[in-house]
Structure 1
Amino acid sequence: MNAPIIDPLQGDFPEVIEEYLEHGVMKCIAFNRRGTLLAAGCSDGSCVIWDFETRGIAKELRDKECVAAITSVCWSKYGHRILVSAADKSLTLWDVLKGEKITRIVLQQTPLQARLHPGSSTPSLCLACPLSSAPMIVDLSTGSTSILPIAVPDVANGIAPSSRNKYSDGTPPFTPTAACFNKYGDLVYVGNSKGEILVIDHKSNQIRALVPVSGAAVIKNIVFSRNGQYLLTNSNDRTIRIYDNLLPLKNGLEALVDIEKGIAEPNGIEKMKMVGSKCLALFREFQDSITKMHWKAPCFSGDGEWVIAGSASKGEHKIYIWDRAGYLVKILEGPKEALIDLAWHPVHPIIVSVSLTGWVYIWAKDYTENWSAFAPDFKELEENEEYVEREDEFDLNTETEKVKESNVNEDEEVDIVAVDKDAFSDSDMSQEELCFLPAIPCPDVPERQGKCVGSSSKLMDRNHSGSPLSEEAMQNGQAANHASSPLEEDTGGTRLKRKRKPSEKGLELQAEKVRKPLKSSGRSSKVKSKSMADQDMSNGVYGDDISDEYQ
């Protein structure tokens, strides 16, 4: 975040819809590591990569074998690869720069979500969460799968297997199971239908710790913050919970094994709960105590200071923003379209949301100009005023005005070679990161012009033609550009025309042009000048000099 230039009284969270992106019917989105590229999965099986700086399409990844809707997209750590899961039960790994398909694997169940291993620059492992089976680790190079346990068996305590481990063998549960990697990918955190968070070593396929969630409701979403310090869960009891990650960010598995060794008794589930209490600690709970609404696509901001979630109500495009202390700071209200996905920009205070119609809305901060920041005695005028300077205003008085001496050591050498520490703590400077894609020029197609990037004026046109942008949302600033200039409609009603009042100097010059031919020629000149004057008057030129010539 650009903390030094952000007004602390305004807050560094989005407020209004800046613009929108349109390309087919988009279903899911994901930013790359730096936020320069935005990947969007479409309903026709293609994946579109937007250049987020120019708001243009940089590349389109399309597989002839996949025509089903995309369910999730995921970038690799340095942006060279993209993993795409689709409703036809397929996982496709793409080379972003070349636009070529690396591999394609078909699973037995439809993957609702797929995430690449975050600890590798060229990952070959991914975590897939199918629709009706347990999460699995998929080796993209060989196609082999390893199903993760989603419940703790009670056999270790001498108790017969119960409904607790009913689905531990990978048989389909009634609800999808959420799962995610930790920051460096050595552990997998699974939220099951029993309201439990399981910490799993995916290499040995063993449950290392268990954290019971209050309410024991089904966990629908589970996600880590970007820095790996906080874990977010979204449960079926309409509550979002934030947990502190007590394990170290690096070598978390080794620290977990040390915790297990330090606890001798008891064994089984109770021991896993004791280990889990040293892995995660409940930090905050978020819910709407009035409407009791369900939440959709919750996530953290790029710096982890804010928590956002969308309303799961149909026909409602509302985004709730809380600070990490638990206070609701803003409710963003968009068009009357259901929200299906959310993403916060990794660097800037920008939120991107996907509507049910397939449009991607970009929410940005509405900055107010504060010119007094340039000088404490700066005064902002509502309109131009004639300024009369004092006689001695710009006189130099060497006795009262002394030049302040600079404290800069001019003899000190300036280092222009050393590189400052990267803003991303886990960056590997030896690995070249893919931040931008080369632009490929293509001819404009008339019928497709204006379909890729829309502005706020386009949003207003869509609102008048029956789109669900609410009047309240437009009043809040989404169409501020449309009302900022004095525009009037033409008689045709299709174009906008700006009316400009001629200046006094312009009136004088046009009057001189009319006057000169009248003095030099006879009646024909007067007739010609009169036609010129009629033309000037039709253009809005009025003056006493012109009217006197024809009296």
Structure 2
Amino acid sequence: MNTTPIIDPLQGDFPEVIEEYLQHGCMKCISFNRRGTLLAAGCNDGSCVIWDFETRGIAKELRDNECSSPITSICWSKCGNRILASAADKSVSLWDVVSGNRIKRIVLQQTPLQVRLHPGSSPSLCLACPLSCAPIIVDLNTGSTTLLKVSVPEGSNGPAPASRNKCFDGTTSFTPTAACFSKYGKLVYLGNSKGEILVIDHKDGEVRAMIPISGGSVVKNIVFSRNGQYLLTNSNDRVIRIYENLLPLKDEVRALDDLNGRLSDLSGVEKLKAVGSKCLTLFREFQDAITKVHWKVPCFSGDGEWVVGGSASKGEHKIYVWDRAGHLVKILEGPKEALIDLAWHPVRPIVVSVSLNGIVYIWAKDYTESWSAFAPDFKELEENEEYVEREDEFDLNPDTEKIKGSDANEDEEVDILAVEKDPAFSDSDMSQEELCFLPATPIRDVAEQQEDKFIEISSKIVDSNNSGSPLSEEAGPNGHTSNNASSPVEDGAGGMRIKRKRKPSEKVLDLQDEKVKKPSKSSKASKSKSKSLVDQNNNGNGFHSDEISD
């Protein structure tokens, strides 16, 4: 139980405030690619949108005519060139990111709540966790499915009788079961409704180890840290637990075989528990000891040093941040909207969360400017001071100071496409074939587009109203003038009528005032011509006034 106070926020690098938000339709789930340069989001209309996270622009939109149901889960392949998405219509779709084409679509028997691609370089398998049955291994090439066991027999004489919340044969279950691949995808870690973690070899479907969870509550979420050293579980008892992985990452199957050989004197559940004690060990427990809040989505930070949990309470958008030692360091409070999904950036201290209204919020660290960081000899001044330069400060000494030439070869071609190896990734040797960026088209704000269009239309209306003088009118076939043909508002039955949807802005009103105050040259000419005609009529058909008086 966590009763320690919040520690000093300056001690850690974690998000603090909402930096920006993304909006495109109604988004439901999110996932970063391996480098964190692209963010994929599944929408309520069955489409998937890919954001360029550096420019915050839309790089690609994946849309399937056969799917109009909400996306329930989305994930990337390790190389970033594939995206797997599950929908509420029981379908699982694999997409090619570069071309935007759908590669495969498989319809399952149950609605998948979560899907995960195999962490291999060219995945052909995926793990699906349906709504009301056991997790499934799906072969994306053939479409075949394999159910995983969600429990083990209590005794050696056979399975115990099944109940509403328990499943022993892998065919019937009324509680969604959480599962995930290990770091290299050789094992599946499954959290069942009995409060147990099962370690399963997905190739033969056999349970290799079992780790009971204290309390025995239903496991809602289970996920590995990126380095594979820690496993996180979220249970119905409102506790987030962190387990340390004791198995070697690349030889975990061989290590399990060795453990089973050394424990050959045991059998059944006792043997599975004995092997499980050598696989995982409880490291920390996290919970809100005051409010006892349920957790919607927990996850690790990119480096595994921080743990975040999104509150499942309705009407609030709260994210709790702990360090791995168990100290609560920050509570992020967002808008009055329920939280449905979140993800931590793989490299940077950024958390992205999704609200119930379909808006994606980007939480980042609140940086303060430090002017002394620009140069080692830079000194901040409390107030303005007159600078007195040295006598020889700006003198050139060509004899003593020789300008060194550049060592760079100007004829050498510069590679701007290759991605440098990042030490934050253990297997960054695959960066050459990894997809990191997509061309993004900047999109202007909708409000700016509407205002520019309204200004253009208003200026046309003002010009048409001020150009009604006889000199600017065009004569019709009968010699009559017509100035209504050029007005965009007074078109005929076949024309388009413009409707003002909002009050003119101050910029539009100022533009109209300038048009009224500065009449056109044609208006001035027409007024002078009209005045001369009136003078002639008043003077008696062109005679001068002095002649009439005589």
Shorter-chain TM-score category? 0.7 to 0.9
* Residue 386 (structure 1) shift: 4.4
Q: Is 1:149 aligned to 2:149, yes or no?
A: yes
Relative to structure 2, which stretch is displaced further, 32-41 or 374-383?
374-383
Give the letter for the 2:245 counterpart: N
Structural mapping, 1:395-434, within 5 Å: 422-423=422-423, 424-429=425-430, 432-434=433-435
String of CA shifts for 1:216-260, please: whole Å, max 9, x gaps. Answer: 000000000011100000000000000000011112111111111
Distance (whole Å) between structure 2 residues aligned to residue 133 and residue 238 of structure 1: 23
Over aligned residues, Cα RMSD in angstroms? 3.0
Aligned to 2:174: 174
Query: CA 1:393–1:163 in 2, change beyond 3 Å: closer, same or farther?
Result: farther
The correspondence of residues 220-235 of structure 1 with structure 2, limited to 5 A, is 220-235=220-235
Q: Match of 2:13?
A: 12
Matches within 5 A, 1:50-449: 50-119=51-120, 121-156=121-156, 158=157, 161-163=160-162, 166-374=166-374, 378-381=378-381, 385-389=384-388, 394=393, 422-423=422-423, 424-429=425-430, 432-439=433-440
Q: Structure 1 residues 340, 376: CA separation in 2 closer, same or farther (over 3 Å shift)?
A: same
Aligned residues: 430
Cα displacement (A) at 1:313: 0.5
Q: Secondary structure at the match of 2:291?
A: coil
Report deviation, 1:378.
4.1
After superposition, the C-alpha distances for 1:66-95 in whole angstroms (9 at most, x for unaligned) are: 000000001001001000000000000001
Which one-letter code corresponds to 1:244 in the other structure? E
- Cα distance 1:42–1:380, how it changes in 2: closer, same or farther (>3 A)? same
What whole-Å deviation, never above 9, does each CA across 1:23-55 have from its counterpart, x for those lacking one?
Answer: 000000000000010000000000000011110
Partner of 2:471: none
* Counterpart code for 1:327: H
Do the aligned partners of 2:230 and 2:242 also contact (CA within 8 Å) in 1? Answer: yes
Give 1:266 shift.
1.7
Could you give the per-residue CA deviations for residues 246-283 of structure 1, whole angstroms, max 9, x where no partner exists?
01111211111111111122210010000000000000
- Taking the aligned partners of 1:223 and 1:232, their CA distance within structure 2 comes to 5
SS at match of 2:222: strand
Displacement of 1:370 in angstroms is 1.5
Measured at CA, do residues 378 and 166 of structure 1 come closer, stay the same or move farther in structure 2, by a change above 3 Å? closer
Q: Within 5 Å, give how 1:445-524 maps onto structure 2.
A: none
Task: Write the deviation string for residues 180-224 of structure 1: whole angstroms up to 9, x where unpaired.
Answer: 000000000000000000000011100000000000000000000
What are the ranges of 5 or more consecutive residues in structure 2 without an aligned counterpart? 1-7, 402-413, 451-503, 508-550
What secondary structure, in the 3-state scheme, does the structure 1 residue paired with 2:316 have?
coil
Report the structure number with the largest CA radius of gyration: 2
Cα deviations across residues 278-300 of structure 1 (Å, max 9, x unaligned)?
00000000001100000111000
Residues of 2 paired with 1:393 and 1:274: CA distance? 79
Letter in 1 for 2:38: L
Q: Which runs of 4+ in 1 moved over 6 A?
A: 390-393, 416-420, 492-495
Rounded Cα–Cα distance in structure 1 between residues aligned with 2:204 and 2:44: 37
Cα drift, residue 135 of structure 1: 0.4
With structure 1 as the length reference, what TM-score do the two structures score?
A: 0.73
Distance 1:17 1:367 in 2: 12
Match of 1:513 in 2: none
Deviation for aligned residue 1:494: 6.4
User: Can you give the 5+ residue segments of structure 1 that lack an aligned partner in the other structure?
Assistant: 1-6, 404-415, 451-491, 496-551
Whether contact under 8 Å (1:223, 1:233) holds in the other structure is yes
CA deviation after TM superposition for structure 1 residue 140, in Å = 1.1
CA contact (8 A) 1:297 1:309 kept: yes
Separation of aligned partners in 2, 1:373 and 1:202? 52
- Aligned-partner SS, 1:50: strand
Q: What amino acid is the match of 1:58?
A: A
Q: Which amino acid aligns with 1:126?
A: C
Q: Which amino acid aligns with 2:83?
A: I
Q: Closer, same or farther in 2 for the Cα pair 1:103/1:387, shift >3 Å?
A: same
**What secondary structure is seen at the aligned counterpart in 1 of 2:254?**
helix
Q: Return closer, same or farther for 1:139/1:376 CA change in 2, 3 Å cut-off.
A: closer
Equivalent-residue separation in structure 2 for 1:123 and 1:349 (angstroms):
29
Shift of 1:141: 1.1
Contact 1:81/1:122 (<8 A) preserved: no
Counterpart CA distance in 2 for 1:18 and 1:446 is 20
2:330, 2:55 → 1: CA distance?
A: 28
Percent identity of paired positions between Structure 1 and Structure 2? 72
- Closer/same/farther in 2, CA of residues 441 and 326 from structure 1, 3 Å limit: closer
Q: Is the 8 A contact 2:152 2:159 kept in 1?
A: no
